Structures are given as structure tokens and as C-alpha cells.
Amino acid sequence: MDVACCDSGGNKMNLTKRKFDCLVIGAGGGGLRAALQLSQADASVGVVSKVFPTRSHTVAAQGGINAALANVLPDNWHWHMYDTIKGSDYLGDQDAIEYMCRAASNTVIELEHSGVPFSRLENGRIYQRAFGGQSQNFGGDQAARTCAAADRTGHAILHTLYQQNIHARTHFFDEYFALDLVKDEEGYILGAVAIEIETGIPLLIEAKTTLIATGGAGQLFYNNTNARINTGDGMAMALRAGIPMEDMEFFQFHPTGIAGKGMLISEGVRGEGGYLVNGEGERFMERYAPHAKDLASRDVVSRSIAIELKEGRGCGPDKDHVLLKVDHLDADIIKKRLPGIRDLSMTFAGVDPINAPIPVCPTAHYTMGGIPTNRHGQVVVPEHQGAEEPVPGLYAAGECACVSVHGANRLGGNSLLDIVVFGRAAGNHIIEYLKENRYHRPIAEESVDYALSRLARWDKKGDGESVDSIKTDLKKTMDKYCGVFRQEDVLKEGVEKVLAIEERLQHARLKDHSKIFNTARIEALELENLMDLAVATVCSALERKESRGAHSRIDYPERDDKNWLKHSLYFKEGRRLEYKPVHIKPLTVDSFPPKPRVY
């Protein structure tokens, strides 16, 4: 190992270097599942994580993980496959979905044997609960498919995988921030340049294979449910390395988040009799959904709120939220049936829902799009003759990837399944790749220089706008122009606004140029990542002229399978879009052709 003594500008002569068979970027469930597979196969694995690994966003997945174990009600993987395809509004790739649903049961049992304390039935089998979108017999009665470790499933999986990795001697770079991939002229990915947050010193991690597992990009939006670490770092690294982003227009929103804060207020509140009112005190859902009213589906409620806000009927000085009323309910009912919601509201909105309504607005929740991969976790791009040629040495798994099992809309309980199934699959494929690619390739100096220059850019002194103000403007712009209310003129204006913010970012400066724990610089680098993804998202949304799953266009209200049953691919260079077909053909069973999605 070389001695670290280079400055942040990157005195490359002295750049510290480390070498691994595989570099995993991100230490959530997807990254750790892949790392475990590799370390157990005696590959050398380095995991880079910008926060301590068990503080990854996987801990926030409290709901559970789907697998057709049939412990509570009859079930099989084929029904799970149908539900996932239907939930995806037929944009999901049916080969990947078949693979995931078939693998689910073994995956959950494997987690159980690794030490995840799943909740149990009296007969000792794993307990399973019913979630929305789950059916028996291809759209029949409700199924019960979600396995949970009480309400801490994500936490239990993450901690178990972390401990197993420590046992398997995976090497962790805790509190290191990955800047950019290193890519050579032949297109091989050779690792990444990272920076140690504590010292500000850059590090070159050379790797025969690199797996991106950095999670989603919920921080693109002002109102979102995601941890603040979810800035889409890996996706943006891929974009800068010339890899397109797939289906970025598909972002799952939840209708009721605490206004200005984003925390999720679950449907349970409306299920107990809570209802929404606008700034005029009107119970507006009666106009949009005369029968279901406040219990209409998530997208209908989200869009209705957005229209109320857009037409000036919001509440508060900025008319930027509506109110969720439960104060007509008996105080004891609220205390008994909605204690968690009451706590959230009192803590973050300063409102006790027994006495006053909760200020809410739609909140961004899950990134369906991401780095295009196949079911082995290989990153695939259109090249030469093929639409999906693997990028040698590069893999992605989890929310940052688009494999695509969620298509236009993700079902509850499928995100934890996605990360462990495809983390494991990527690990297995990497093991095979390493057998054929036994040596490190010569490092690509230009690519390393590029990464270091991006770091050095933030050392410039002088006057310039602050990163914080640009970030806030970007997120508010995304909420307003690329949120749940989408139509041609709004999105066009959104593209212009986002590009104007991108221009402002070029001239931003930091005030803090210290080396030790310079969090301001990390936040600037995160904002650059969000910036690239914001452009990708709004451009993709403008071009898709249909409504499908989470992408809801007022001006094109119907799904259009004739023209739009295809995946978007956004390229940073030239801000261009290409399209590729959906994999309609599963691995072994008959295809599920598109049908109207009615629940």
C-alpha cells in the first residue's frame, strides 16, 4: 500500500491504493448480501459506505419481505409473479420477476438460517401477513405473503448480514464516500476513487469487479420519506461513466407525508375515518372519488391533493399543504388505534391529532428506475448490435438498479426481496466472472484524474452561491414540476428550471475548505449527484406520453401499450433518450400479457 499524503486536489503520485477482487459501493442489504456471497467464496471484498453500515436505509424497511411460503394461506411463487407483474403495470421484466419470485422462499429460509429472527406462528413456522396487491390464484382472494421480524425486518436483515460479513472477513471502509467509477478505454470498470470523510484524503480502490448498491434517490424531492443519505450517488456515478438510467420517470409517491418534513402518515388514518380538507375547509376527495372518497387508491389521492394545491386551494401561508382531519374521532380511538401516527404528528408537526388536523402533502418514497441490469446483476447497456450488452466488471443491485422487477410501480414487501435476491445473484455471477478474469487490468489514469478533478473543483475559493440554497431550490422544483401532477407544459417548464439550477451549481462555492470531516464538501458532491438524476428524471417524465403505474400524466391519462410498453434509457451525454423493449417472456412459464390494472 502506498503512503497517503496527497491533498484533496489529488497529488496523484502519492494516491493511496487498495486492491480487491470486488469493490462493493454501499452497505445496505443489497451490497451486504453480495459481499457475503463473495467473502464466503474466498474472494477479497472491500465495502465502501459513507455512513456506518448498519445506518443504511435498509433499516427503514419495517414492513417485511415477500415469499410464497404458504404458511398462513395457500400460495405459490407463480401467483406472486402475477401480482408483481400486474403491480408493475406490465413494465416489469417478466424473466427477472420469475427469477425473483421463484428464489423468494429459499432466500427467506436462508436469511432465517443466518439469524434473522422472523416472527413465528404457533406451529413454529414463519408468520406471514397480508399486504395490498397480494392475491391467491392470479387475482383471486387476498394472499398473506409478507414475512416479518416484528416491525424491524429491515433492521434485522441488515444487522444479520453485517455480522455475517464481519465473520467472513469482508473489509469495510466505513465513512468513505465514493466519488466516481474508474473506467478504461475498452469500457472495463476497474474500481472507484473514494474519499475518507474523516481526513478528506482520496483513495483509489482497484477492483476486478465493482458492484453499485447505493440505494435510491428520494432526496431528489423536497417532501420525501427517505433518509438524507439517499442521494443516488451510485446512479449518478454510473451516469457520468456513460451508463444510461432506466425508467427514471417512475417514482413512487405516498399521498400523505407530514408537510415540509416528509414522514409517512399511513393509510391507516383514513381507514379509521380520517379525511382530507383543503384551505377552504372542503372535503375535496368527494369531488374526485365520489364513492371511495378518502380511501381511493394512492395515486388518485396524491393527484387530487396536487390539483388542489396547484389551483390555490392549499392551506397555510404558502398554500402548500392540505389537512388530514381525525379530530372528529373519539380521543380514545385515536390513542388506541393510531398511537404511532399520533406520536409522529406530535413530534414532527407539533400537532396532536386529537385536537387539530395534521398538515400533509404527497411525499416521494421509492425509486423504481435506476442502473439497467439483467437478472445476474450485470449492468447492461445498448452497444454494438445488442440492447443489453454487459459492461465488463460492473454490477448493480437493489434500489439503485433497475432489473426491472418493479416496473412502473413497486409492491409492498418486494423491495427487501429485491435486494437480497439480486445481491446474492450478483455475488454468484461475480464469482464466475472472477474465474475468467483473474488479474487486475492496468489502471486508467485519465479516469482517475477526472474523479480527482471533481473533488478539486470544490477547493476553489471566492464568492459563489451556497450549496444549501441550490439544493433546496432543486428539491422544491422537483416537487412542483415533476411530482405527482405531470403534464406537458408543467414538465417542459420543469426541464428549464432544473437546467437553470444545474447552471447555478457550476458557480457554487464552499466556505469551509477544511480537511477533517468536511461534511459541507460531501454535501456538495451529493448535490452534484442529485443534480444529474434530477435532469434524468424530469427529461424522462416529459418524454413518456402515457400514464402507467406511478407516472401519471394529466394530459395522457391512459396506459398506451401500443407505443409505450418499453423502458426509457436516459443518457447524460446530449441528454438523450433511447428505449428498449420490456422482457415479456418469462424464463419457463407463459407470459402474462398486459391487461387493465383493476383492484
Residues at the site binding other proteins, with contacts judged by CB under 8 A? 50-51, 54-60, 152, 155, 158-159, 175, 197-198, 224-229, 261-263, 340, 343-344, 347-350, 514, 516-519, 522
Q: Please state the closest distance from residue 304 (CB atom) to other proteins, in A.
A: 24
Name the nearest CA neighbour of 245 among 256, 234, 255.
Answer: 234
Contact between 278 and 297 under an 8 Å Cβ cutoff? The reply is no
Q: Which member of 33, 145, 270, 298 is catalytic?
A: 298
SS3 content of the chain, % helix, strand, coil (to 5): 40, 20, 40
Q: Please state the closest distance from residue 339 (CB atom) to other proteins, in A.
A: 8
User: Closer to other proteins at the Cβ: 94 or 529?
Assistant: 529
The DSSP secondary-structure symbol of 156 reads: H
298 catalytic per annotation: yes
The DSSP secondary-structure symbol of 347 reads: I
Name the nearest CA neighbour of 121 among 72, 48, 62, 178.
Answer: 72
Q: Please state the closest distance from residue 143 (CB atom) to other proteins, in A.
A: 28
Name the nearest CA neighbour of 231 among 218, 244, 246.
Answer: 218
User: Closer to other proteins at the Cβ: 40 or 54?
Assistant: 54
Contact between 258 and 369 under an 8 Å Cβ cutoff? The reply is no
Contact between 2 and 197 under an 8 Å Cβ cutoff? The reply is no
User: Closer to other proteins at the Cβ: 344 or 577?
Assistant: 344
Q: How far apart are CA 424 and CA 41, in angstroms?
A: 12
Q: Please state the closest distance from residue 173 (CB atom) to other proteins, in A.
A: 14
Q: How far apart are CA 210 and CA 29, in angstroms?
A: 16
Q: Please state the closest distance from residue 213 (CB atom) to other proteins, in A.
A: 14
Q: Find the helix packing angle between 519-543 and 233-240, rounded to 10°.
A: 70
* Torsions phi, psi for 556 (to 5 deg): -135, 75
Amino acid at 374: N
Q: How far apart are CA 586 and CA 319, in angstroms?
A: 48
Q: Please state the closest distance from residue 285 (CB atom) to other proteins, in A.
A: 26
User: Closer to other proteins at the Cβ: 50 or 475?
Assistant: 50
User: Closer to other proteins at the Cβ: 49 or 146?
Assistant: 49
Q: How far apart are CA 525 and CA 51, in angstroms?
A: 15
Amino acid at 115: G
Cell of 521: 464538501
DSSP 443-457: P-HHHHHHHHHHHHG
User: Closer to other proteins at the Cβ: 15 or 27?
Assistant: 27
Q: Please state the closest distance from residue 131 (CB atom) to other proteins, in A.
A: 20
User: Closer to other proteins at the Cβ: 296 or 315?
Assistant: 315
- Annotated catalytic residues are 298
